[in-house]
Structure 1
Amino acid sequence: MDRRRSRIRYELDHGNIRQLSEEEIKAILRAADELIGTGGRSLLAKILKGSKDKKILEHELDQCPVYGYYQELTLPEITNRIDWTIKKGYLEIQYNGKLPLLIFSEFGWEIERETYAEELFQQLTTLLDCNDYSIVQELKDRNRGMIFLLLDKIEENGNARFIPLLKSWKEIEYKKVQAAIQEVIEQLAQKGSIF
């Protein structure tokens, strides 16, 4: 039996959607990041709807920062928006066996990488006063390009209060990331601004 014949077919339909705002595109991409390579359009629509579906709760997809972003829309209306992002080249569909799964296009990943790096930067900023840097464990093994972007944001911020967090992070990282973290520590130490 030909495996391609057994693939689940899909048809993209963006309905009457002609344009999405930048905020909407970022929200769809952020939600998609939770299931890249493991889920498809239906699961993404459920995250954006804020569904209490068993699979959503089981995989803690309700913890996504944009969970429920389109709660006022129907699943077909949300799927139209997802299909628009696919047709416009922000997301792509790739088969894994017979299942059509979502992946980022290069262009879509550039946008999501920036969004996610900013989200992490804001999280790290809130931790500067509590001295609990356990979040750095979650940063290990993340996309290196996104991590370097996050480090750039910390360096651009210029706040030397990041140094203890960076030192804690550096201890658990691989050599290339350790070197990049050390450079940021040195830059922040030179600037010496604490705010």
Structure 2
Amino acid sequence: MLKAKTDRLSEEEIKVILRAADEIIAQGGRTLLAKILKGSRDKKVLQLELDKCPVYGYFKSEKLNEIMQKIDWMIDYDFLDIEYYGKLPMIIYTKRGWQIESDQYADELLNEWKEWIKQGKQNPEMSYLKDRNRKMILLLLEKIKESGDQSFIPYLELWEKIDYKKVRDAIRTTINVLNRKEPIDHSAVKERTESIDEALKGIEPQDLLLKCWVCGERFTFTTGEQQFYKKKGFSYPKRCKKCRNEKDNAFFY
């Protein structure tokens, strides 16, 4: 997938690409993601209002193919993946990628609330939080608890009125924790931070040793082959090269 060696991305770059990907997960591919990061005025980018993404144009000084290489690095190091919908290759999160993105998105939402408080904003429309990823929403509520900031309570009460029961219960628990001024579980915060730091390291691509379904022999599936198969949407090979060749030759006779 990588046509040239790409230097390891910084933690900030990793988070930026994951944030941009959030706008098009399972709906767009590598090229569209690169255009968001480039700050493209492409018709599709503008139609989908992707120019409103907070990291739109982050890599505006770089060429589109250079940004594509960064995205491919993200795929190779297990932050993003490609899933085919019909013949269309779409960007999706890996477990690692979503762990990082859900944490930073929860922080983004929390910071938005902090800004509302500074502005004295009252009665905001809270329906934008409904139908969001449940785990990310629960993480946001954990961060609100950890803040100990009772200024959030009016927003929580507005949110509580419009969401589903399980989320309402979690919101009510958060309100109660803030009202009682319960102490922060610093060990849980530290564990989450360490887990994110570990996830940000990624996994360096390695050759795999696969077992042939026909002859039973082990064969090497190189990183280059893995990248090619992933890009094309192919499943990993079940036969070694020798058995694949024998099958192909048998087809012609």
Q: State TM-score, norm by structure 2.
A: 0.70
Alpha-carbon shift at residue 125 of structure 1 (Å): 1.4
Structure 2 CA distance, aligned partners of 1:15 and 1:184? 49
1:4 aligns with none
Asked if the contact 1:42–1:79 (Cα under 8 Å) also holds between the matched residues in 2, the reply is yes
Asked if the contact 1:14–1:83 (Cα under 8 Å) also holds between the matched residues in 2, the reply is no
Match of 2:158 among 156, 168, 171: 168
Number of corresponding residues: 180
Structure 1 CA distance, aligned partners of 2:123 and 2:76? 43
Unaligned runs of 5+ in 2: 183-253
Give 4+ residue runs of structure 1 displaced > 6 Å after superposition: none
2:60 aligns with 71
Alpha-carbon shift at residue 14 of structure 1 (Å): 5.5
Q: Is 1:52 aligned to residue 41 of structure 2?
A: yes
Unaligned runs of 5+ in 1: 1-11
Q: Is 1:158 aligned to residue 148 of structure 2?
A: yes
Structure 2 CA distance, aligned partners of 1:111 and 1:104? 10
Match of 2:124 among 103, 111, 133: 133
1:147 aligns with 137
Alpha-carbon shift at residue 126 of structure 1 (Å): 1.3
Q: Is 1:23 aligned to residue 12 of structure 2?
A: yes
Residue by residue over 1:29-63, the C-alpha shift from the partner in whole angstroms, topping out at 9 and shown as x without a partner, is 00001000000000000000000101001000001
**Structural RMSD (CA):** 1.1
Indicate the percent of aligned positions where both proteins have the same amino acid.
Answer: 52
Give the structure with higher Rg (CA): 2
1:9 aligns with none
Alpha-carbon shift at residue 168 of structure 1 (Å): 0.3
SS class of match (1:93)? strand
Asked if the contact 1:14–1:84 (Cα under 8 Å) also holds between the matched residues in 2, the reply is no
Looking at both structures, which has the greater relative contact order when contacts are Cα pairs under 8 Å and sequence separation is at least 6? 1
2:90 aligns with 101
Structure 1 CA distance, aligned partners of 2:24 and 2:4? 24
Asked if the contact 1:17–1:80 (Cα under 8 Å) also holds between the matched residues in 2, the reply is yes
1:80 aligns with 69
Q: Is 1:118 aligned to residue 107 of structure 2?
A: yes
- The one-letter code matched in structure 1 to 2:95 is E
Structure 1 CA distance, aligned partners of 2:68 and 2:173? 44
